[in-house]
Chains A and B, each alone.
Chain A
């Protein structure tokens, strides 16, 4: 029997092997993680709901099944799920008061696939309300805290899952990335965070914020774990008409051709306003790739800086429509009231937090007649333009690189009073949502702050559908030791 701190440091791939070979038990693995949760969750607020009993039942069941000869690809791997993804029987609140009391009667496709692969769902993790935010400070439960430094946000909106993986409360975390909501927190807490190509992973069961740009993403502490999880959850789903299956095979050993690769460093992401430790980490990445005979050149994406405006217009417009269904009639928090249904709706919808209200109002405005062509439609046309700029860059390069965020984790409260400052946190991540290309945040270094360390990250961006390229390059960085995600105890003590 291993020491429990050893178990929580073990990557998911190894856990799955050990549980499958009965070297250890799924139940034992789970207890190690549950113990971390009970010790640290009050301070970190990663989980908003822990399904202790359900997880124990499932872990024991997996152990029994394995004894009977059943095989699983992710046997006994404990998973943290962002509170915007439907898990049958577990409360789903989207970090909002409006959904209190709602328990989904069905599993999201990703959850069904992970269950089938032998994963254990540990619980639901904190998020900005309806995934709208970059710090988890918009959660009705209060913010999650960055385990590296008590004064810092973990990034958002999928901050809870990021913290759970970084602090060893789960082996793998699921998030959703609408404008950077997986990659930003991954960079702030020093783990890998993947936003897949649009359509690679089913959104069935993901509560929609902005349907045309978001994807369910993965937090992991090794590229092997990332690949394993990605290969389990990705692929066409009959329940999501926007999904497809890419025709490359992740299980074969890729990376043989990477030395012929050309990579472009995106100038617009790595210039003014980027903090030195972030640039140093980017430079370290570039030097490492060069050592592997990968050519690196500077590349321009001329309209990159306009992405943020277009992104927020599209995301808010879609959100204004998506969130209309939360009216208390069919599910969620019902406000008892006298009066007609307009009055009842108004009272129920007063339960939305202020950032959600802001976005719904702005989005409804952007779609309204007289403003549609000026706002939504213009943003949609811009999307075509920026897609073509990425496509032309990818005609010359197999990969683009830049920072995930211009700065490490900011302070709690630092940006809450200025929404535009908060929106600017996503400046390097939203272009990949607008264009649908896959991107991975790789922890590539640290910044010194307030006498402690804060992780910084580099972003690997591949052409549409080429997650294989990302995994190949990230594996090199992992092998070279440029990236080495750690499990961390609060505050900043590496386990």
Chain B
């Protein structure tokens, strides 16, 4: 199987859209309130290129080891669609007199294989986002369609890979890695809806290539490709041909449906955009950006191994999500035992996030609370097992660890008299076990376990052991 991806990344951390002063972070604004003459394509309006978008495109190019051009331009991609205010999209192209912002590039993915997987990039281009259509009662049946142009004109980077991926899982790994790189560069808040959208090309055993469009969440890439792989393998098994076509990903159904056959492929009538002069960059400008790139996931992982003694695997998991890696480092700053922090994050925190389908940013407690909880274990105020329960409660309520422990009475029981009282009850309830324990020292553990069970493992194990042995000795001697 050969898979290539076209990933659209919104430059939503810019102050403004690609060609006008409207906001790039349109997500919470009421429909058609984030528009002006330019992004609505009113007659006579002209696009003026956002220089911040150029800078970010160069940053991404360099981070992906692509070759930024010192001279590039824009083209018009002409087609009619109601979400496009001008009925053409200002984009880039490597033909028809166009030159994209960068060519080539490469990403390295860690898979189960010994060697990392290298995926080559074809090009990176800058283009404008269209608006959004709403079909009030579904795509096929609505009597009318509503258009919201708040998104129209937001800057996009289109990152095109070569078909170097061979499984849906690898496609997910690439997207995850790219997402982390973009977050580290600070060019995209990838968790916003539609911030990363993917079109995927997939072909099996030299058959026709099928393009899947409209994968509007990076999380759905693997799912969509898996569906398509199954669909294609079934066709092959039935001896049916695989048509060269474009298919639409239907998120709710989890399937793809045919949207355009090859014969209907559009002629976009590309030509250089006359309103935006070609951009000329100096080598110094590019070098300056290269020199000021922030730490990227791969080098951050190496640093985690070096500085914190993490395994490459653990470091790799942490840096694949910038927010997670940040969370880790902040916790370590407050509680300087990195391997313990890493273990807690990778087991307990990720479990919470997976169960709740949350991002780390949505977690209801922060590094400070985690560090505090870990210190409480160290001080013997709670047991490790209680710690897990505290994490669960903090994730649920957003309380601090001290408050959770207090409210639920989870503090470790170190009071010898109290433990003795508990032990006496257990002895009464388990006379046979007491007899056994008198003969066989191994059976002592059962009694200790019963005491722990009564107070959810909070009893100090050392004291409990001492108390049980004391009571047994007393019985022997009496």
- Chain A residues within CB distance 8 Å of chain B: 84-86, 92, 94, 99, 102, 104-106, 108, 203-208, 210-212, 238-242, 317-318, 320-321, 324-327, 329-331, 341-342, 345, 364, 367-369, 372, 376-377, 380
Q: Is the CB of B88 within 8 A of A324?
A: yes
| Of B87, B267, B277, the contact of A369 (CB 8 Å cutoff) | B267
CB-CB under 8 A from A208, the residues of chain B are: 43-44, 275
Closest A residue to B36 by CB, please name it: A106
CB-CB under 8 A from B87, the residues of chain A are: 324-325, 327
Q: Is the CB of B43 within 8 A of A329?
A: no
Closest 3 CB pairs of A and B: A324-B87, A212-B274, A367-B269
CB-CB under 8 A from A324, the residues of chain B are: 78, 80, 86-88
CB-CB under 8 A from B275, the residues of chain A are: 208, 211, 240-242
CB-CB under 8 A from A102, the residues of chain B are: 43
CB-CB under 8 A from A238, the residues of chain B are: 48
Q: Is the CB of B86 within 8 A of A380?
A: no
Could you name 8 residue pairs across A and B whose Cβ atoms are closer than 8 Å? A106-B45, A210-B274, A241-B46, A241-B276, A321-B269, A341-B82, A369-B267, A372-B271
Q: Is the CB of A85 within 8 A of B88?
A: no
Q: Is the CB of A105 within 8 A of B274?
A: no
CA distance A218 to B153 in the complex (A): 33
| Of B43, B76, B147, B271, the contact of A86 (CB 8 Å cutoff) | B43
Given known A105-B37, A211-B275, A321-B78, contact A205–B269 (CB-CB < 8 A): no
Given known A105-B37, A329-B82, A372-B96, contact A317–B271 (CB-CB < 8 A): yes
Q: Is the CB of A104 within 8 A of B274?
A: no
CA distance A377 to B75 in the complex (A): 13
CB-CB under 8 A from A84, the residues of chain B are: 44
Interface flag for B49 (CB, 8 Å): yes
Closest B residue to A370 by CB, please name it: B267
CA distance A206 to B97 in the complex (A): 25
Q: Is the CB of A330 within 8 A of B269?
A: no
Interface flag for B334 (CB, 8 Å): no
Q: Given A320-B269, A321-B76, A372-B269, output 15 extra A-B contacts at Cβ < 8 Å.
A: A94-B43, A104-B44, A105-B42, A242-B277, A317-B271, A324-B78, A324-B80, A325-B41, A325-B87, A327-B80, A341-B82, A364-B78, A372-B96, A372-B270, A377-B96
Interface flag for B305 (CB, 8 Å): no
CB distance from A85 to the nearest CB of B (A): 7
| Of A206, A212, A326, the contact of B44 (CB 8 Å cutoff) | A206
Q: Is the CB of B48 within 8 A of A325?
A: no
Q: Is the CB of B271 within 8 A of A367?
A: yes
CB distance from B130 to the nearest CB of A (A): 13
Interface size class of B (residues with CB under 8 A): 20 to 34
Interface flag for B384 (CB, 8 Å): no
Interface flag for B323 (CB, 8 Å): no
CA distance A367 to B77 in the complex (A): 11
Closest B residue to A205 by CB, please name it: B44
Q: Is the CB of A207 within 8 A of B44?
A: yes
CB-CB under 8 A from B88, the residues of chain A are: 321, 324
Closest A residue to B273 by CB, please name it: A211
Given known A241-B47, A324-B78, A372-B96, contact A330–B271 (CB-CB < 8 A): no
Interface flag for B40 (CB, 8 Å): yes
Interface flag for B398 (CB, 8 Å): no
Closest B residue to A340 by CB, please name it: B145
Q: Is the CB of A85 within 8 A of B44?
A: yes
CB-CB under 8 A from B49, the residues of chain A are: 241
Closest B residue to A317 by CB, please name it: B271
Mark each residue of chain B from 455 to 476: 1 if its CB lies under 8 Å from any CB of chain A, else 0: 0000000000000000000000
CA distance A212 to B274 in the complex (A): 5
Closest B residue to A345 by CB, please name it: B80
Interface flag for B85 (CB, 8 Å): yes
Given known A106-B37, A211-B275, A327-B80, contact A204–B269 (CB-CB < 8 A): no
Q: Is the CB of A241 within 8 A of B277?
A: yes
CB-CB under 8 A from A108, the residues of chain B are: 44
CB-CB under 8 A from A242, the residues of chain B are: 274-275, 277
CB distance from A481 to the nearest CB of B (A): 40
CB-CB under 8 A from A331, the residues of chain B are: 42-43
CB distance from B61 to the nearest CB of A (A): 22
CB-CB under 8 A from A207, the residues of chain B are: 43-44
Closest B residue to A238 by CB, please name it: B48
CA distance A99 to B43 in the complex (A): 10
Q: Is the CB of B43 within 8 A of A380?
A: no
CB-CB under 8 A from B41, the residues of chain A are: 325, 330
CB-CB under 8 A from A204, the residues of chain B are: 44-46
CB distance from B142 to the nearest CB of A (A): 11
CA distance A413 to B42 in the complex (A): 33
CA distance A208 to B45 in the complex (A): 9
Most buried by B among A84, A94, A210, A329: A329
CA distance A207 to B45 in the complex (A): 8
CB distance from B262 to the nearest CB of A (A): 14
CA distance A108 to B398 in the complex (A): 54
Mark each residue of chain B from 27 to 58: 1 if its CB lies under 8 Å from any CB of chain A, else 0: 00000000001001111111111000000000
CB-CB under 8 A from A367, the residues of chain B are: 78, 269-271
Closest B residue to A318 by CB, please name it: B274
CA distance A232 to B188 in the complex (A): 42
CB distance from B323 to the nearest CB of A (A): 37
CB-CB under 8 A from B274, the residues of chain A are: 210-212, 242, 318
| Of B43, B86, B276, the contact of A92 (CB 8 Å cutoff) | B43
Given known A324-B80, A329-B82, A367-B269, contact A240–B46 (CB-CB < 8 A): yes
Closest B residue to A242 by CB, please name it: B277
Most buried by A among B37, B147, B269, B277: B269
CA distance A367 to B93 in the complex (A): 15
Closest A residue to B149 by CB, please name it: A330
CB-CB under 8 A from A240, the residues of chain B are: 46, 48, 275
CB-CB under 8 A from B40, the residues of chain A are: 330
CA distance A210 to B274 in the complex (A): 9
CA distance A75 to B412 in the complex (A): 88
CA distance A364 to B270 in the complex (A): 10
CB-CB under 8 A from B267, the residues of chain A are: 368-369
Q: Is the CB of B46 within 8 A of A203?
A: yes
Most buried by B among A102, A211, A327, A330: A330
CB-CB under 8 A from A329, the residues of chain B are: 82, 147
Given known A241-B49, A327-B87, contact A104–B43 (CB-CB < 8 A): yes
Most buried by A among B43, B48, B49: B43
CA distance A342 to B264 in the complex (A): 15
CB distance from A411 to the nearest CB of B (A): 32
CA distance A92 to B267 in the complex (A): 32
CB-CB under 8 A from B147, the residues of chain A are: 329
CA distance A320 to B88 in the complex (A): 11
CB-CB under 8 A from B82, the residues of chain A are: 327, 329, 341
CB-CB under 8 A from A325, the residues of chain B are: 41, 43, 85-87
CA distance A321 to B147 in the complex (A): 21
Closest B residue to A326 by CB, please name it: B43
Q: Is the CB of A376 within 8 A of B43?
A: no
Closest B residue to A329 by CB, please name it: B82
CA distance A341 to B37 in the complex (A): 23
CB-CB under 8 A from A94, the residues of chain B are: 43
Q: Is the CB of A86 within 8 A of B44?
A: yes
Q: Which of B312-336 contact A (CB under 8 A)?
A: none
CB-CB under 8 A from A210, the residues of chain B are: 274
CA distance A206 to B85 in the complex (A): 17
CA distance A380 to B270 in the complex (A): 14
Mark each residue of chain B from 87 to 99: 1 if its CB lies under 8 Å from any CB of chain A, else 0: 1100000001100
Q: Is the CB of B43 within 8 A of A239?
A: no
Most buried by B among A240, A367, A380: A367
Most buried by B among A84, A327, A380: A327
Most buried by A among B37, B42, B88: B42
CB-CB under 8 A from A377, the residues of chain B are: 96-97
CB distance from B38 to the nearest CB of A (A): 8
CA distance A172 to B82 in the complex (A): 40
